[in-house]
């Protein structure tokens, strides 16, 4: 008779877990409204596809660079009321204000003013979003030392994040049509059906990638003896945004080359419609298939990450850790913190 797996022993309360997950829901409503729809918004207010490509290159490059900068800052600055929560309290009002600034782009302004406004507004919004994002991905390392519990926190957090993004993206066409902004989305039923199918595969990939971050943090601490939560989270978001800094401008250049016409309700030539299909469907599908092959080379397992966490927290000795992990991952580094139990 097969034995039942023991129930997970939580270090966090149900209210703490729900609060953590609800944060991702609210945060990603902002993300769905702005980051995913920015190209459409820019085009509809009269900014050409080529100009949008330039804006995306500048803003997405800043988007990628500011993550490690804030990661180092979070690691080095120690507030009296905690390492992560003060950053989150600071970021919330900044995110709200910068979101309003983003959509306040004056429609009657000249092309140069629109480009400058769009660039500055998105850079301000992205800096605020980074302050919200980076601390949350490493917060589970302070909430619990149980690897499975951390994984559950992050996995459910990504589910709530996808609900926020999907909800914002699906409601936006209705709001835009009612307010007169953005003609199109005539067949909303088909749009929602295809968006749902796409979200299943995108969501699975998204959840897996974000749950790797705490395990990689333990791996790095195990090998170096130094713990850098902010840098660990910011590196993950850095590469995500680096891809965005290249793919976004590339897509807009394709649309510009296909003759995309800027402006609300503009009639698009068939070549532009083909370009939209290539950028939104074909290229992402090819990229997803290529990225799946890279997961084969990811060898870190939950049980080994748990042993690394126990060693990093001083629960087992270096000899015990080496006996279980050295053959597969190499020897453990001496722990740096003098106050940890079991330190050699």
Report whether pLDDT(197) > 70. no
Structure tokens at 333: 């580094």
Does some domain include residue 342? Answer: no
Does some domain include residue 91? Answer: yes
Structure tokens at 91: 């970021």
Residue ranges of the alpha helices (H) in the chain?
A: 14-34, 38-44, 49-76, 85-103, 111-138, 140-143, 147-179, 188-224, 229-257, 270-277, 283-294, 302-312, 318-329
- Beta-ladder partners of 82: 79
**Which pLDDT tens digit goes with each residue over 22-78?**
988 888 888 877 877 777 788 778 888 788 888 878 877 787 677 777 777 877 777
Closest among 306, 305, 258 to 279, alpha carbons compared: 258
Where b means 16+ CB within 10 Å and e means fewer, 301-310 reads eeebbbbbbb
- Residue 73, classed as helix, strand or coil, is helix
Residue-level pLDDT at 188: 56
Residue-level pLDDT at 182: 42
Report whether pLDDT(185) > 60. no
> What's the structural domain count of the chain?
1
Question: What's 156's domain CATH number?
Answer: 1.20.1250
Q: What are phi and psi of 265, to 5 degrees?
A: 75, 10
Q: What percent of the chain has pLDDT over 70?
A: 78
**Which pLDDT tens digit goes with each residue over 135-149?**
887 788 778 878 778
DSSP code per residue over 131-170 = HHHHHHHHTHHHH-S-HHHHHHHHHHHHHHHHHHHHHHHH
Residue 121 CA to residue 48 CA, distance in Å, equals 18
Does some domain include residue 149? Answer: yes
Structure tokens at 262: 């800027």
Residue 311 CA to residue 330 CA, distance in Å, equals 14
Does some domain include residue 6? Answer: no
Is residue 337 within 8 A of residue 225, CB to CB? The reply is no
Does some domain include residue 8? Answer: no
Would you place residue 99 in the very low, low, confident or very high pLDDT band (cuts 50, 70, 90)? confident
**Which pLDDT tens digit goes with each residue over 266-320?**
777 888 878 877 777 777 777 777 777 777 787 888 888 888 888 888 889 989 9
Residue 134 CA to residue 225 CA, distance in Å, equals 22
Query: What's the pTM?
Result: 0.61
Would you place residue 342 in the very low, low, confident or very high pLDDT band (cuts 50, 70, 90)? very low
Tell which wins on pLDDT, 164 or 169. Answer: 164
Closest among 135, 321, 297 to 218, alpha carbons compared: 321
Does some domain include residue 2? Answer: no
Does some domain include residue 333? Answer: no
Q: Domain of 121?
A: 15-326
Does some domain include residue 56? Answer: yes
């Amino acid at each position: 008779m097969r034995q039942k797996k023991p129930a997970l022993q939580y270090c966090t309360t149900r209210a703490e877990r729900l609060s953590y997950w609800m944060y991702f829901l609210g945060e990603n409503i902002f993300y769905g409204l702005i980051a995913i729809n920015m190209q459409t918004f820019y085009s509809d207010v009269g900014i050409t596809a080529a100009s949008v490509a330039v804006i995306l290159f500048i803003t997405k490059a800043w988007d990628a660079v500011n993550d490690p900068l804030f990661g180092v800052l979070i690691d080095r600055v120690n507030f009296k009321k905690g390492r992560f929560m003060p950053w989150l309290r600071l970021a919330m009002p900044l995110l709200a204000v910068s979101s309003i600034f983003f959509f306040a782009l004056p429609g009657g302004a000249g092309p140069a003013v629109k480009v400058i406004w769009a660039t500055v507004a998105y850079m301000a919004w992205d800096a605020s979003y980074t302050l919200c994002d980076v601390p949350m991905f490493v917060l589970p390392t302070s909430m619990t030392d149980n690897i499975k519990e951390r994984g559950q926190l992050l996995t459910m957090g990504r589910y709530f994040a996808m609900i926020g993004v999907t909800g914002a993206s699906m409601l936006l066409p209705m709001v835009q049509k009612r307010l007169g902004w953005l003609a199109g989305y005539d067949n909303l039923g088909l749009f929602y059906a295809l968006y749902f199918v796409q979200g299943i595969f995108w969501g699975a990939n998204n959840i897996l990638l974000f749950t790797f971050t705490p395990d990689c943090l333990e791996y790095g601490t195990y090998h170096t003896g130094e713990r850098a939560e902010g840098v660990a989270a910011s590196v993950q978001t850095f590469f995500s945004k680096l891809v965005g800094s290249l793919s976004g401008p590339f897509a807009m250049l394709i649309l510009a080359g296909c003759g995309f016409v800027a402006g609300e309700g503009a009639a698009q030539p068939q070549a532009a419609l083909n370009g939209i299909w290539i950028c939104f469907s074909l290229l992402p599908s090819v990229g997803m298939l290529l990225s799946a092959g890279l997961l084969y080379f990811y060898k870190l397992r939950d049980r080994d990450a748990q042993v690394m966490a126990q060693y990093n927290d001083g629960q087992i000795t270096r000899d015990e850790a080496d006996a279980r992990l050295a053959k597969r991952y190499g020897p453990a580094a001496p722990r740096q913190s003098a106050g940890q139990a079991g330190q050699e």
